Amino acid sequence: MESAEIARRFLRFFEERGHTVVPSASLVAEDPTLLLVNAGMVPFKPYFLGQKKPPFPRAASAQKVMRTLDIDEVGKTTRHASFFQMLGNFSFGDYFKEQALPYAWELLTRPESEGGFGFAPERLWVTVYHDDDEAASIWQHKIGVPADRIQRRGMADNFWSMGVPGPCGPCSEIYYDRGPEYGRDGGPVADENRYLEVWNNVFMQFERGAGGGKEGFPILGELPAKSVDTGMGLERMAAILQGVDNIYEIDTTYKILDRAAELTRSRYGRNDRADVSLRVVADHMRAGVMLVGDGVLPSNEGRGYVLRRMLRRAIRNLRLLGAGEERYMHELTATTIEVMGRQYPELKVDAANIHTVIDAEETSFLGTLRTGTAIFDAAVEETKRKGRAVLAGPQAFQLHDTYGFPIDLTLEMAAEQGLKVDEEGFRRLMQEQRDRAKADSAAKKTGNADVSVLGAMLDKAGRVDFLGYDLTVAEATVVGVLVDGASVQAAGAGATVEVVLDRTPFYAEGGGQLADQGVIRSSGASVEIVDVQSPFAGLVVHRGKVSEGEIRVGDPVQAEIDVERRRAISRSHTATHLVHRGFRNALGESAAQAGSENSPGRFRFDFTAAGAVAPAVLRDVEDEVNAILINDLKVHAYHTSLDEARAMGALALFGEKYGDEVRIVEVGEYSRELCGGTHVASSGQLGLVKVLGEASIGAGVRRVEALVGIDAFRFLARESVLVAQLSEQLKARREELPERIDGIVTRLRAAERELEKVRSAQVLAAAGELAASARDVDGVSVVTHRAPDGTSADDLRKLALEVRGRFPGDRAAMIVVAGVPADRPVVVAAVNDAGRTRGLAAGRLVGVAAKALGGGGGGKDDVAQGGGARPEAIGDALDAVDRAIRETLS
């Protein structure tokens, strides 16, 4: 039975029993405390916590899940996977154990011909929490499971909580006996390899207090509404129903693994090391495609770091399999989209975008491997030169953070050099970086408020009505006030506050559009609003400062936005839609939006592209967009179903999350996109769009910046004045300026090269005189010289080597030359072989001079260079070198 059919049967079974089938949420969690969705219940978490009222009493889903804590173990065993799918049925205070357990048993044991999974009842075992007599009785007396196949387990195994105070409860798990060839008899308590868990029923009936671990917390009492959260791992179920040994051999994973083996001319099952690499590739390709499909782009922090790490681990393991410089990610991406597309057809729709992102990351990383290897070699040389056996954590972190070098590759290459790596130091720096990124992201949405406080606010306020599509001023009621993250009843003048209203015209930052600003007034207070955020769907938080009076919960208020700012932002947002369409027309449908920011009079637009966009294409897109403005097309917004929007060909922001009902914004017949932002009434209101340029912001992603309206006009006006001034100064017509300026620049560069040659010749001409004036210090010819200011560092080095070369090989010579190329002093030391036999070392003497200059430096014993920050100390530095030479020779 294929994976897609397993999911279909599960959802159909529960739909027939009154459950609302909820599509999988994006892997990008709405919960600001989570990086990625890590459990099937995460999308329903606000309902279980009482933060939101559930829109249905019971639900079922097939949820995409990502767990990366064990990413280093992926491939090494056949149990670990980063991406998997969790089938689940949920009750929100509706039914409980007496229905949940029979549901699970019925679906598992019903014949395949009747829509079930066809498990033989005698091969199923169950476990219950040690004092859950109710569940044990249902299993034995209502369902008919023999008492000897019902096992009781403690809190560590059969009790669930989220790890923090809140809902918790006992579990009852169902296990499948794979047979004696997989292990010893005795049920799950004896061997969980033979007895494989297939279904976990969690009964949320208690509230837990604070405490650590799986058992170190108190049970405070029962919840007012008892709920059910169940989970069945789709991949594990597929392994059993498809008769294979592990999750890497099921249909959706093995096809990827097999294609990787074919491309690299490997065979699965013959070599342990190759098997590990093939499993890593298969798992990480599934995970990578699903993440990119949900809009995650490779980066060095947060979710982007997770994606980049997995894609690069896949690429590296392909190289270990013998891929060399061959690029196989495109083929493997296509295979992954094909096998996962049966369950997630949106992957096929976004295939071009997914290919662009992953292909670009492969290209980038192959370059990184070349560059990073050179940097790694230098780090190894330095480590060995200092007599150390461990590559420092900061060096490993720099290799990762700056050059994208994965730590596991650093570890392997270091071992080949006989070195270890300070993994603890590396991981500490990595964790600090992740914590900063996570805190910054969460703080943007939640401010100082605890997530639970905001959840309680949403529960109290209900869904906040947004009136801003039609109104710029609206009457509302204050339903919540927060100061320093804590809910208060009132806040006085000078206080920085967060205000929640029951309805608002203020647009909360989202979809690339910046938040509205404005003022909230009551009869006795005024609050200047500077930011608006939506930490949870349906909750709008206005942030600002009480400028006068006292704002109180329950006050009737008037909320008024800054209309001019809104209009300018709306022009930018509409312009973004037009530019998006323009780039798709010019580059093809793979040029998908990957982010944007719409601010007053200016916007930036990110899109997927394999490489730089030619200037001619930028001009064509700009011309096409401005032609749309002249035609003054009507901008129309309306709501429809997601399926209808897709059928109409409406563009969706790559990876954005949408509900069943969506809002479409059309600009005539030119552009049609799913969008919740605010827009102008017609394209002519934009006035003018001026594209400033484009650049890369990451592998496979380009960024265009542009101006709109009066800002675009003012920019062009300034450009016109500048061109007029140049035309006047150069006595040339405007159209002749590029050629005239190019000629001037060419002549200037030629003159600079000639001047540099003359300067170098003058510097080197002094070499003979300097050698002749050398001082004898205990049988060593010593030259210390300050070169004229402006002498380049390269010429200083050439001069030192030239003077050294003037001495015969049997005459010990030490040369130190200093100068100020720009505003910082540089010192170069050179010593010949005879001088080194007398104990003189260029690196040590440069260090002496550099210290006097307030800096540092070093190098080899024969030639070294350093510098500092105190040009006035050059004389002192050369004196210090003289003393050091005398001390060495004495």
* DSSP conformation letters of 116-162: S----GGGEEEEEETT-HHHHHIIIIII---GGGEEEE-HHHHEEE-
Look at residue 712 in the predicted model and tell me its pLDDT. 92
Cβ of 162: how many Cβ atoms within 10 Å? 15
C-alpha dihedral, 506 to 508 to 514 to 520, nearest 10°: 30
Element holding 510 (H helix, E strand):
none
Look at residue 445 in the predicted model and tell me its pLDDT. 47
Look at residue 117 in the predicted model and tell me its pLDDT. 95
For the chain, how big is the Rg over CA atoms in Å?
A: 35
Count Cβ atoms within 10 A of the Cβ of residue 686 and give its class: 0-12 exposed, 13-18 middle, 19 or more buried.
buried
In the three-class reduction of DSSP (H, G, I as helix; E, B as strand; rest coil), residue 603 is classed as strand
168 known ligand binder: no
Q: Locate tokens 């498990």: which residue?
A: 119
In the three-class reduction of DSSP (H, G, I as helix; E, B as strand; rest coil), residue 875 is classed as helix
Look at residue 474 in the predicted model and tell me its pLDDT. 95
Q: Residues 554, 579: contact at Cβ < 8 Å?
A: no
Nearest to 74 by CA among 252, 283, 260, 289: 283
Cβ of 461: how many Cβ atoms within 10 Å? 19
CA angle 412, 417, 418 (to 5 degrees): 95
Look at residue 567 in the predicted model and tell me its pLDDT. 95
Count Cβ atoms within 10 A of the Cβ of residue 761 and give its class: 0-12 exposed, 13-18 middle, 19 or more buried.
exposed
d(CA 186, CA 755): 90
Q: List the chain residues with pLDDT less than 70.
A: 31-33, 51, 70, 162-164, 213, 402-404, 434-452, 455-456, 459-461, 653-660, 699, 857-858
List the beta bridge partners of residue 196. Answer: 176
Distances (CA, A) of 594 to 586, 605, 606, 674, 704: 17, 8, 5, 14, 11
Phi-psi region of 358 (alpha: psi -120 to 50; beta: other; left: phi over 0): alpha
577 known ligand binder: yes
User: pLDDT, tens digit, for every residue of 547-579?
Assistant: 999 999 999 999 999 999 999 999 999 999 999
Q: Residues 578, 625: contact at Cβ < 8 Å?
A: yes
d(CA 406, CA 399): 8
Q: The dihedral of CA 477, 478, 480, 485: what is its sign?
A: positive
Dihedrals φ, ψ of 174, to 5°?
Answer: -110, 135
d(CA 539, CA 452): 13
User: pLDDT, tens digit, for every residue of 475-486?
Assistant: 999 999 998 888
d(CA 558, CA 521): 5
Look at residue 123 in the predicted model and tell me its pLDDT. 94
Contacts of 736 (CB under 8 A, 6+ apart): none
679 known ligand binder: yes
Count Cβ atoms within 10 A of the Cβ of residue 299 and give its class: 0-12 exposed, 13-18 middle, 19 or more buried.
middle
This prediction has a pTM of 0.62
573 known ligand binder: yes
Cβ of 788: how many Cβ atoms within 10 Å? 11
